[in-house]
Amino acid sequence: MSYPYLAPDYFQLDDLLTDEHKIVRSAIRDWVTRSIIPIIDQAAQNNEFPVRIIKELGELGAFGPFIPQEYGGAGLDHISYGLIMTELERGDSAIRSTASVQTSLVMYPIFTFGTEDQKRKYLPLLASGEMTGCFGLTEPNHGSDPGSMETRIEDKGDYFLLNGAKMWITNSPIADIAVVWAKDEKGMVRGLIAEKGMAGFSAPKTHNKWSLRASETGELVFDNVKIPKENIFPNIRGLKGPLMCLNSARYGIAWGAIGAAMDCYNTALQYSLERKQFSKPIASFQLQQKKLAEMLTEITKAQLLAWRLGTLKNANKASPAQISMAKRNNVKMALDIARESRQILGAMGITGDFPMMRHMMNLESVITYEGTHDIHLLITGNDITGIAAFE
């Protein structure tokens, strides 16, 4: 069962949003209520990605909302993008991940680093959901240390020859294209667009996940794949390229995690008011009130952090370290709330009738991908001391 979704707004943050922000949020919220909530538990239980949502997300405009309209985006601001991520993750981190990857890791680099031809060719199709993309950076032996990547491109005159393998790639089994990062002969990281169907390119699915079960995860394997020269990003070299993409995606996650937390809190609050033990609602017991009050406090802090980060991002002033802090704080907050709220529901909390276990398991991935919880802490450490502890 699920309760009506009453999103907490304890500090009247709605007053800081524009009318347009509120319409964006309500549109995505309505779509999630209609299209995701009724099916998501079964999809996760069955380990099935609901493929139809790609077209629906495209029609809704949830792919590339901040990309200009001339390339198929909506031209919205970054707070709108954040609100979209929050609402999608209220449904499930898998749904938000799909939109995050398509927007921040595929459309954003094509828009930012791509040629005009690449933008015209790919962006409108990615925005409408007629084409799905994925992002290849992480490798089997290089996660937090992408600078040591082994995937290589070799200039063969008419084309580049791509060899290597990428792992933990959201959407890879269903993607039509992949934005791939590989080193050239000089050891310089370059970005390119690989298309499914190119000889030697395969994307096997990752099985037996306990997390993001309603999402497709897989590998990207490149065995002497000929990449046409026009598929290379001409304007970016070095790790800065993929890190800029990750900044955009991490920003979205900082907002998204709040959605999972609010879903858990809302469920726990309503359950605690209904569930009676010792002849009174369990919400009347101090230990339950402590949990609920602390959850709401943490959600409120996360909302304020995300909102402020959004205003900085709109002004093009959000630093990577600020984004790291927000991603780290908000995902941990959401994971803690998933666990605490599950406790309020007792045994009922472990069933698929309620969303906590699903969110909790999803958030174990979210706290790891796009920079692990530990690495983000070290990014803050580096920022305040000037000393990198991860090199």
Contacts with another protein by CB under 8 A lie at 4-6, 9, 12, 14, 19-20, 22-24, 26-27, 30-31, 34, 59-62, 65, 69, 74-76, 80, 84
Q: CB 192 → another protein: shortest distance, Å?
A: 29
The residue assigned the tokens 């958030």 is 363
Among all residues, which ones are annotated catalytic?
Answer: 370
Q: CB 80 → another protein: shortest distance, Å?
A: 7
* Token output for 203: 């994307």
Query: Which residue number, 74 or 131, has a Cβ lying nearer to another protein?
Result: 74
Query: Which residue number, 267 or 324, has a Cβ lying nearer to another protein?
Result: 267
Q: Distance between CA atoms of 93 and 219, rounded to whole angstroms?
A: 20
Q: Distance between terminal CA atoms of the chain?
A: 48
Query: Can you state the angle between helices 78-91 and 93-100, rounded to 10 degrees?
Result: 150
* Token output for 179: 């934005």
> Are 142 and 131 in contact, with CB atoms under 8 Å apart?
no
| SS3 (DSSP) at 54 | helix
Contacts of 312 (CB under 8 A, 6+ apart): 318, 322
Q: CB 10 → another protein: shortest distance, Å?
A: 9
- Residue 50 sits at the vertex; the CA angle it makes with 46 and 54, to the nearest 5 degrees, is 160
Query: Which residue number, 127 or 366, has a Cβ lying nearer to another protein?
Result: 127
- Residue 235 sits at the vertex; the CA angle it makes with 229 and 238, to the nearest 5 degrees, is 100
Q: 141-146: long-range contacts (C-beta < 8 A, 24 or more apart)?
A: 143/168, 143/372, 144/371, 144/372, 144/375, 144/390, 145/390, 146/181, 146/239, 146/242
Q: Distance between CA atoms of 343 and 288, rounded to whole angstroms?
A: 9
**CB-based burial, 307-341: b 16+ in 10 Å, e otherwise:** bebbebbeeeebebebbbbbbbbbbbbbbbbbbbb
Query: Which residue number, 237 or 275, has a Cβ lying nearer to another protein?
Result: 275
Q: CB 53 → another protein: shortest distance, Å?
A: 13
Query: Which residue number, 75 or 143, has a Cβ lying nearer to another protein?
Result: 75
Burial of 33 (0-12, 13-18, 19+ CB in 10 A): middle
Q: CB 54 → another protein: shortest distance, Å?
A: 15
Q: CB 64 → another protein: shortest distance, Å?
A: 9
Query: Which residue number, 56 or 184, has a Cβ lying nearer to another protein?
Result: 56
Query: Which residue number, 26 or 224, has a Cβ lying nearer to another protein?
Result: 26
Judged by phi (left if over 0) then psi (alpha if -120 to 50, else beta), residue 217 lies in: beta
Q: Distance between CA atoms of 375 and 327, rounded to whole angstroms?
A: 11
Q: CB 11 → another protein: shortest distance, Å?
A: 11
Contacts of 289 (CB under 8 A, 6+ apart): 283
> Are 180 and 136 in contact, with CB atoms under 8 Å apart?
yes
